Amino acid sequence: MLVRNGWFDPRTMDGAGPPGPPECCKPDMAIPTRAATGRRWLASRDALRHLVRMTSHLRRLENESILILREVAAEFRAPVMLYSIGKDSAVMLHLAMKAFHPGRPPFPLLHVDTTWKFREMIAFRDQTAARLGLTLISHTNEDGRAQGINPFDHGSSYYTHIMKTEALKQALRQHGFDAAFGGARRDEEKSRAKERILSFRTAAHGWDPKDQRPELWNLYNTRIAAGESIRAFPLSNWTELDVWQYIQAENIPIVPLYLAAPRPVVHRDNMLIMVDDERMRLRPGEIPETRMIRFRTLGCYPLTGAVDSNATTIEQIVEEMTVSRTSEREGRAIDHDEAGSMEKKKREGYF
């Protein structure tokens, strides 16, 4: 079920999806075939698990994330999962399916659509919600859209504030969500390293890094006053490599943009920016060229840098990662606005 900027009542969630277990949960579902290369390979999910070893480390991370997902779902009145369509969201969603199996996750997905996402992301988003039978709320800041706020004219910082941070706050307020799951990881960025797994937000959605609740063992303080909320980060202790290894081990579907393919790009501000649709404004002298590229992180296409890569499989991504010398956030324009950039955004309510 897709809800666009519409009113959504989380209390009517029960039975919102189609009956029966979602496709991905059927135990003997075939592994997708490789029709394109003509190599056909089928195996039961159980057989695959014998082939792909889950490391004890990944298993521990998985268990911890499931505990967090269940705890927040059990203790909050109206939880929601921020679904950003990227690899971390894919893992988080997969873990949510596991946490509540054979039931369905007892919360909807929320996507903050800036209208500048890659087209493949939106297609993948809708396909995923349909495949899993989950309710997906897509929210756009309509004021921002009406004013024509875009990453070209308004700068990445202001644009992000209006179309992401403000849009997110609007959506949380409109639906009365009191807990929002996010796929952020502590290894991504320095200010993230100090964030709690359950991160408390004031009624104005502000974050005070100097006054965080101590978080001991796996005991999460879920008490909040009316109007306050929490952000919950089940993947806090995962690293980028963990995420990819888990995607490989669990065969989790991801947006194809993560895999290398020939795509049209321009060089801009030391980044490779993909020309995803006709709205892309080319600067004088910029001529799109086709390069073998992929993305390590996904966001709004005019602000997201690609990397040259030949990794066309998850396995090759994992291999590439073990020799990579740059961080995934290098490809994010919004992190480079100024020193302490992420911390400032977070204080204002950014995820």
Partner 1 sequence: MDGSSQAGPMPKPLPGNSALLRFLTCGSVDDGKSTLIGRLLYDTKRILADQMVALEKDSRRFGTTGPDLDLALLVDGLEAEREQGITIDVAYRYFATDRRSFIVADTPGHEQYTRNMATGASTADLAILLVDARHGIMTQTRRHAFIANLLGVRHLVLAVNKIDLVGYDQARFDQVAASFEEMASGFGFASVRAIPISARYGDNVTEASEQLAWYGGPTLLAHLEQVDLVDASAASGQPFRMPVQWVNRPDLDFRGYSGTVASGCIRPGDPIVVAGSGRESRVARIVTMDGDLARAGAGDAVTLTLADELDISRGDVFAQPDARPEVSDQFAARIVWMDDAPLLPGRSYLLKLGTRTVTASVSTLKHKVDINTYDRLAAKELRLNEIGTCNLSLASPIAFDPYEQSRTMGAFILIDRLTNRTAGAGMIKFGLRRATNIHRQATSVSKQARAAQNRQKPCVLWFTGLSGSGKSSISDLVERALHAQGHRTYLLDGDNIRHGLSRDLGFSQPSRVENIRRVGEVTKLFVDAGLIVLASFISPFRAERRMVRDMLEPGEFIEVFVDTPLEICKARDPKGLYRKALAGEITNFTGVDSPYEAPEQPELLLEGGAFEPASLAERVLDLLRVRGVIGSE
Binding residues among 118-157 for partner 1 as defined by CB under 8 A: 124, 127
Nearer to partner 1, 53 or 283 (CB): 53
Q: Residue 88, CB half-sphere, CA atoms under 13 Å: how many? A: 25
Residues in region 170-209 near partner 1 by CB under 8 A: 186-187, 189-194, 209
Nearer to partner 1, 4 or 34 (CB): 34
Residues in region 261-320 near partner 1 by CB under 8 A: 312-315, 318
The interface region with partner 1, picked from 64-72, 141-149, 174-182, 295-303 by CB under 8 A, is: 64-72
Closest contact distance (angstroms) between CB of 170 and partner 1 is 25
Nearer to partner 1, 44 or 147 (CB): 44
Nearer to partner 1, 9 or 56 (CB): 56
Closest contact distance (angstroms) between CB of 177 and partner 1 is 18
Is 224 one of the binding residues for partner 1 (CB under 8 A)? yes
Residues in region 11-30 near partner 1 by CB under 8 A: 25, 27
Closest contact distance (angstroms) between CB of 87 and partner 1 is 10
Residues in region 78-97 near partner 1 by CB under 8 A: 97
Is 251 one of the binding residues for partner 1 (CB under 8 A)? yes
Closest contact distance (angstroms) between CB of 300 and partner 1 is 19
Nearer to partner 1, 116 or 244 (CB): 244
**SS3 for the chain, per residue?**
CEEECCCCCHHHCCCCCCCCCCHHHCCCCCCCCEHHHCECCCCCHHHHHHHCCCCHHHHHHHHHHHHHHHHHHHHCCCEEEECCCCHHHHHHHHHHHHHHCCCCCCCCEEEECCCCECHHHHHHHHHHHHHHCCCEEEECCHHHHHCCCCCCCCHHHHHHHHHHHHHHHHHHHHHCCCEEECCCCHHHCCCHHHCCCEEEECCCCCCCCCCCCCCECCECCCCCCCCCEEEECCCCCCCHHHHHHHHHHHCCCCCHHHCCEEEEEEEECCEEEECCCCCCCCCCCCCCEEEEEECCCCCEHHHEEEEECCCCCHHHHHHHHHHCCCCHHHHEHHHHCCCCHHHHHHHHCCC
Residues in region 41-60 near partner 1 by CB under 8 A: 41, 45-46, 48-49, 51-58, 60
Closest contact distance (angstroms) between CB of 137 and partner 1 is 22
Is 77 one of the binding residues for partner 1 (CB under 8 A)? no
Residues 2, 5, 16, 98: which binds partner 1 (CB under 8 A)?
Answer: 98
